[in-house]
Structure 1
Amino acid sequence: MNLPYELQIGVRYTRAGRTGRRNGFISFISGVSMLGIALGVAALIIVLSVMNGFQKEVRDRMLSVVAHVEVMDGQGQALPDWHLTAKQARENPQVTGAAPFIAAQALVARGDDMRGAIIRGISPDDEATVTDLAASIKDSTLSRLVPGEWGIVLGIELARSLGVHEGDKITIVAPGGQVTPAGVVPRLKQMTVVGTFNAGHYEYDSGLAMIHVDDAAKLFRTDGPTGVQLRLKDLFQARDVAEQLSQAFGPQFIVSDWTRTNRNWFSAVQLEKRLMFIILTLIVAVAAFNLVSTLVMTVTDKQADIAILRTLGASPRSIMGIFMVQGAASGIIGTLSGVGFGLLIALNIDVIVPFIEHLLRTSFLPSSIYLISRMPSDPQAADIVPITLISLVLSFVATLYPSWRASRVQPAEALRYE
C-alpha cells in the first residue's frame, strides 16, 4: 500500500540526520526531546502508581478494623431491637454481614500511665462477619471476650505504651461520673487484658480497645447496642448504599459510611495525587515543547527541500503535514516508550526497591517509623490513559507553530543562495 508522501517524508525526517554535523546535531536534539517525554511519562506513571499503592494499602488496613457502613440511633441511645435493624439492612442486596456495637471514648489506665482510647463493644461471633481483623482473631483472641468476665482486647501499640501483657489488670475510666454526696465521682472499672491485636494501622493499634457488647452496655449505661455495623459486597458502593439505607430508616437513624468517617484522610490523599499529577505533567509539557526547537531547526535546515517540494507542486498544507508527522512521530515514540518503561518499573517495584536498598545498604521505609515497610504499587488505567492522551496532545500542539512556519517558506527566497 502506498502511503501519502507527507507521511513518508515526515517519517524519513524523523529518522534522518545520522550523517553530517548539523543533521547529526538536530537528530541528537530530537532524541533528547523524545527521551524527555519518555522520562516524564514514566515518572508520572510510577509516582501515581506508588501513591495508589499506598492508598490501597492503608485503606485495606483501615477497613480490616472498621465496617463499611454504620447505622446508629440519632439520639445516641440504644437501638430498640438491633436484630430488626440488621434484618432491615440486609434487605439491601449489597449488605452481606451485620454486627451490633457500642463505641465510646474512655481513659485506659495502669498505675500512673493513662491513655485515651475508643472502647468498642462487640459481639465476637457477629463481628467476624463484618471486619477482616475480627475474622482472623475470632478463635484465638476474641473468643476470650466472655460477657460478665470483663475481659478487654487492646491494640498492640496501646498495650505497649501502657506496658501491659495478657493477664494484666487495667482500669477503664468511663465518661460521665456517678453523683454522690461527696460530689461527682468518676466511674471506674477494672478489666483483664485477654489479648492484643495488630491491625497494621497505627491509629487503631494505639487507640482502640474491644470488649464484649454486654459489658460495654453495663459500663456505658446503655440498654443495648447503640448501632449496627454492615459489610458490603463492594466497598466502593458504600456511599450509595448509605444513602439508600438513610432513606429507608428515616431521620431517627444516622447512617455513615467509611468514606465519610475517614473523609479528611482520603481528601488529603486525593489532593496530593492531583498536585503530583499537575507538577509531573509540567515536566512532560517541557519535554514536549522541546519539540518546537527541534522542528524549528529542522525547518531551517530543510528549507531547500521545502522549496523543491513546493516547486514540484506541493501545497503549503502538505508541507505543514510533513513536519506535523515528524513532530507527532517523536511524540508518539516518546510517549509509548515512557508508558512501557513506567509500567515495567511500576509492576516490578516490589523487586526493584529491595534490590536498591540492598545495594545501598539502607531502608527507604523503616518499619519502626512508617506504617508500611515495603513500597506498594498499583498501576491503574484511570491514570495511565489520561497521562498518555495528555502527552500525545501536548506533542501534537508543539508541532503546530514550526509546521506552520515551514508552510510559509517561499521557494524563491529559499533557493536564492543554494
Structure 2
Amino acid sequence: MYSSLIRLIANRFTRSTKKNGFMSFSRGVAFVSVALGSMALIIALAVLDGFDDALHNASAKFTSHIQVQTLNRTPIEHCEAVKKELQQTFPDIQIIEPVLQREALIRKRSMVDGVVIKSAPQHALGLESRKIIEGSAVNTSAAFYQVELGRKLARKLDVAIGDSVFLITTPTSQSLPTESVVKKFAVTGIYETGMAQYDDLYIYIPFQTAQRLFQTPTDACYSFDIWLNDINKAKHFANRMEMHLGYPYYTITIFDLHSSMFAWIEMQKQPIPLVLGLISIVAVFNIVTTLLITVVEKSRSYSILRTLGLSTGSMIGVILNQGAFIGLLGTVTGCLVGFAICWIQSTYGIIHLQGEIYFVDTLPITISFWHYVVVLAVSFGMSVLATLIPGVVAAKISPIAALRFK
C-alpha cells in the first residue's frame, strides 16, 4: 500500500518537473552524467582485461612455459638423453622440444636488419602460434635453406614469397667476426603472431638447416622449450628442474621473460578504474543537486503531504524513488552503450595501436558478465545512497514554515 503510494507520488513529481525547462535540463544532465560514468567504467574494465588476456594468450602461444639453457650458452650435448630424463622426472611436461637459436643479420639487397634465428617447432602448438598469412610453413623434417619471416620484418625488407635473403651468422659464440657464415635462403612463408615485437625479430628455419648453419653436433641443442599441462605451475617446476639438472643449467619461465609486459598491464589495472570511478561519484552528486533543487521547488507540495499525514520515512522514500529512477536509467543506458562500443571493437577491430609500444596491433577487448554486474551494483547503489541527503532535507522541512513561506 505505502510502496504503491510512494511510487505514485514520485512519478507525479517526476512528470511535473518536465514542464519546468530548468528542472528538465538538470535531470537530463544527471542522467547523462551517470550514463557516461558507467560507460567509461565498462569500457575501461573491458580494455584492461582485454590487454591482460591478449598478452597472456599471445605470449603463451609464442613462448614456451619454461626454457632450459646453459649459463655460458654453449651447446647442450647429448640432447636426447637430457630430454628423456626431464620427461621421466617431470610427468607434468606436455611438450619438450630441443631448440637451436642464434642472433644473426638478415640482408635483402642494401637493407640489413638484426634478427634471431630459431629452429622451427616441430609440434602443432608451435605452428598454431605462428599464423601463416602468406605461403607455407618451413618443412621441419627437411634440410632445405628455407625461412619464415614475420609480417613486419617482411614489409621492412620489402620481401615477398619466393624472394631470396642472406643470413649472416657465426658458427659458435666464441667465433671471431672474420669467421662469419653467409647463406642464401628462400622465403617460403610469412607469419603473424599479433605481437609486433615477435614479428619484427624472430625468423624460422628447419632444425637440420640450423645444425649446419650453426655447425653444431648432431645430438646437440642450445636450449629446451617446455610446455606444461598447467602454465600457472611454471615457476614451481622451473625451480625443480634447475635443482635437478644442476650447474651449468638454468631455467627461465614465461613470466620472467615477459615480466615488464605483465608488470605494465598490472600497473594500469590499479589507477585507471579508480580515476574513472571518480566520474561516477561526480555523476551521483549531480543527482543530489537535481533532487535538492526539486525539494526546494516542491517544498509546498511536500509540506501539504506531511500535513495530510505522510510519514518522514515515506517522504524520504519519495526522494529515493526519484533518485533511484535516474540512477538506474543512467546506469543501464551507460552499460548498454559501453557494451555496444566494446562489441564493435571486439568484432571489427576499428581502433588500431602501434604494436611496438602496446605489444598488440588492435585495441583488445574482453567482454565479461561480471563487469556489468559490478558496475550496475556500484553505480546504482551509490545513486540510491546519495539520494538520502536530499531525502533527509525534505523530511526536515517544517510544513508550517514552508506553507507560510509560499
Q: Same fold (TM over 0.5)?
A: yes
Per the normalisation by structure 1, the TM-score is 0.76
Q: Is the CA contact 2:138–2:189 (under 8 Å) kept in the aligned structure 1? A: no
C-alpha distance 198-111 of structure 1, shift in aligned 2 (>3 A): same
Structure 2 equivalent of residue 212 of structure 1: 206
C-alpha distance 321-271 of structure 1, shift in aligned 2 (>3 A): same
Structure 1 equivalent of residue 32 of structure 2: 35
Distance 2:396 2:10 in 1: 19
**What is the deviation of 1:400?**
2.8
Calculate percent identity across the aligned residue pairs: 25
Q: Is the CA contact 2:196–2:361 (under 8 Å) kept in the aligned structure 1? A: no
Distance 2:256 2:12 in 1: 55
1:262 aligns with 2:258: yes
**What is the deviation of 1:249?**
1.7
Q: Count the aligned residue pairs.
A: 392
1:99 aligns with 2:125: no
Map 1:17-416 to 2 at 5 A.
17-19=14-16, 23=20, 25-50=22-47, 52-53=49-50, 56=53, 60-73=57-70, 76-77=73-74, 78=76, 80=78, 81-84=81-84, 87-88=87-88, 91-92=91-92, 95-110=93-108, 112-122=110-120, 124-126=121-123, 128-133=124-129, 140-143=136-139, 146-147=142-143, 149-162=144-157, 166=162, 168-174=164-170, 176-178=173-175, 185-199=178-192, 200-217=194-211, 219=214, 221=216, 224-232=220-228, 237-238=230-231, 240-251=232-243, 252=246, 254-349=250-345, 365=352, 377-416=365-404
Distance 2:110 2:307 in 1: 96
Q: What letter corresponds to residue 243 of structure 1 in structure 2?
A: K
Per the normalisation by structure 2, the TM-score is 0.78
Q: Is the CA contact 1:34–1:334 (under 8 Å) kept in the aligned structure 2? A: yes
Distance 1:257 1:67 in 2: 8
C-alpha distance 191-162 of structure 1, shift in aligned 2 (>3 A): same
C-alpha distance 227-89 of structure 1, shift in aligned 2 (>3 A): farther
Q: What letter corresponds to residue 411 of structure 1 in structure 2?
A: P
Q: Deviations over 1:326-360 (max 9, x none)?
A: 22232122212222332234224467887xxxxxx
C-alpha distance 12-307 of structure 1, shift in aligned 2 (>3 A): closer
**What is the deviation of 1:293?**
0.9
Distance 1:131 1:271 in 2: 32
Q: Which range moves more in the overlay, 49-58 or 151-160?
A: 49-58
C-alpha distance 220-303 of structure 1, shift in aligned 2 (>3 A): farther
C-alpha distance 169-109 of structure 1, shift in aligned 2 (>3 A): closer
Distance 1:299 1:57 in 2: 50
Q: Any unmatched runs of 5+ in structure 1? A: 355-363
C-alpha distance 231-134 of structure 1, shift in aligned 2 (>3 A): farther
C-alpha distance 45-15 of structure 1, shift in aligned 2 (>3 A): farther
C-alpha distance 249-34 of structure 1, shift in aligned 2 (>3 A): same
Distance 1:353 1:105 in 2: 34
Q: Is the CA contact 1:37–1:335 (under 8 Å) kept in the aligned structure 2? A: yes
C-alpha distance 324-79 of structure 1, shift in aligned 2 (>3 A): farther
Structure 2 equivalent of residue 358 of structure 1: none
Distance 2:8 2:339 in 1: 27
Q: Is the CA contact 2:316–2:391 (under 8 Å) kept in the aligned structure 1? A: yes
Q: Deviations over 1:259-279 (max 9, x none)?
A: 432232333344445544334
Q: What letter corresponds to residue 158 of structure 1 in structure 2?
A: L
C-alpha distance 281-116 of structure 1, shift in aligned 2 (>3 A): same
**What is the deviation of 1:290?**
0.3
Distance 2:90 2:103 in 1: 29
